[in-house]
Structure formats: structure tokens, C-alpha cells
């Protein structure tokens, strides 16, 4: 049994299989997930698990080169936006309109659905390399 880090087997497996520039989406409960993209559904109830909990756990396992957020998050969910930027630290962030964000999820290795109900609580993480 794994004793540290991500305990969710499907999420751990997706991260282990990612290569440079592959993407992983962490999403709120309402983001539409393309039918052909792997869905890792962690949602149990409103806020369980929360977006930030899943993001922090994922950042502990995945080497992230850059991230993408919906441009609308700054106006609609400023507190969450600040928390995301703090968690990302020096990782570069770019912004796209929410409709473009949804289109980019089609290229993801997987979409991780959380129980988050905060508007625009979605992020695309692009994997880097550890060497």
C-alpha cells in the first residue's frame, strides 16, 4: 500500500504516465468533460473534496511547467484565484476565455472532477521534466 502522496490510484497512474507538455485538468463539479477524455471523478458532495485540496496534492506529485486558468476567475472568484497563484508559486500562468479553456480540455490526459462549487475553479496543468 502506498503511504504518502496521492493515494487515488487512477490519478497517480495518469501522472506517472505523463510526458513533457502533457496536460491534466483539475475541475470544479460543473465543468463539462469531453466523453473521450479520461474522467477521474473524486466528487462526493458540495466542496468534498475541495479544488485547492486536490490541486495541492497534485502539485506534490506532478512536475508542472505552466498552467492555464480561465480569464474570468479574477473577477468571479478572486479569493480562489489568489489561493491558486500562491500554490503555484513561480509556475507561469496564462489565461484564456472560459470557452477556449473548455476546448483545451479535449487534449488532456485526464480531467479530475472535484466537489468544488466555486465558479471557474478549473486549471490545466502542463507537465514539465525533472531533469
At 4 the pLDDT is: 85
**Do the domain assignments include residue 100?**
yes
Domain total in the chain: 1
Q: What CATH number has the domain bearing residue 33?
A: 3.40.1650.10
Domain boundaries, position 24:
18-127
Q: Would you call 98 a catalytic residue per the annotation?
A: no
**Do the domain assignments include residue 9?**
no
pLDDT digits (tens, 9 = 90+) for 83-126: 999 999 999 999 999 999 999 999 999 999 999 999 999 999 99
Active-site choice (20, 66, 81, 98): 20
| pLDDT above 90: residue 58 | yes
**Do the domain assignments include residue 94?**
yes
- Measured CA to CA, the distance from residue 4 to residue 47 in angstroms comes to 23
User: pTM of the entire structure?
Assistant: 0.96
**Do the domain assignments include residue 7?**
no
**Do the domain assignments include residue 110?**
yes
Nearest alpha carbon to residue 49 among 31, 67, 28:
28
At 3 the pLDDT is: 83
**Do the domain assignments include residue 13?**
no
- Measured CA to CA, the distance from residue 86 to residue 106 in angstroms comes to 27
Average of per-residue pLDDT values in the chain: 97
- Measured CA to CA, the distance from residue 109 to residue 62 in angstroms comes to 13
**Do the domain assignments include residue 27?**
yes
Amino acid at each position: 500500500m502506498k503511504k504518502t502522496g496521492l493515494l487515488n490510484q487512477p490519478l497517480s497512474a495518469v501522472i506517472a504516465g505523463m510526458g513533457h507538455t502533457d496536460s491534466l485538468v483539475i475541475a470544479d463539479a460543473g465543468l463539462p468533460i469531453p466523453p473521450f477524455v479520461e474522467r477521474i471523478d473524486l466528487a462526493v458532495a458540495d466542496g468534498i473534496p475541495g479544488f485547492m485540496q486536490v490541486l495541492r496534492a497534485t502539485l506534490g506529485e506532478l512536475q508542472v511547467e505552466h498552467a492555464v486558468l480561465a480569464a474570468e476567475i479574477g473577477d468571479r472568484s478572486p479569493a480562489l484565484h489568489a489561493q491558486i497563484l500562491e500554490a503555484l508559486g513561480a509556475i507561469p500562468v496564462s489565461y484564456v476565455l472560459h470557452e477556449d479553456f473548455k476546448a483545451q480540455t479535449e487534449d488532456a490526459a485526464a480531467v479530475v472532477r472535484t466537489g468544488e462549487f466555486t465558479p471557474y475553479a478549473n486549471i490545466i496543468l502542463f507537465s514539465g521534466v525533472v531533469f
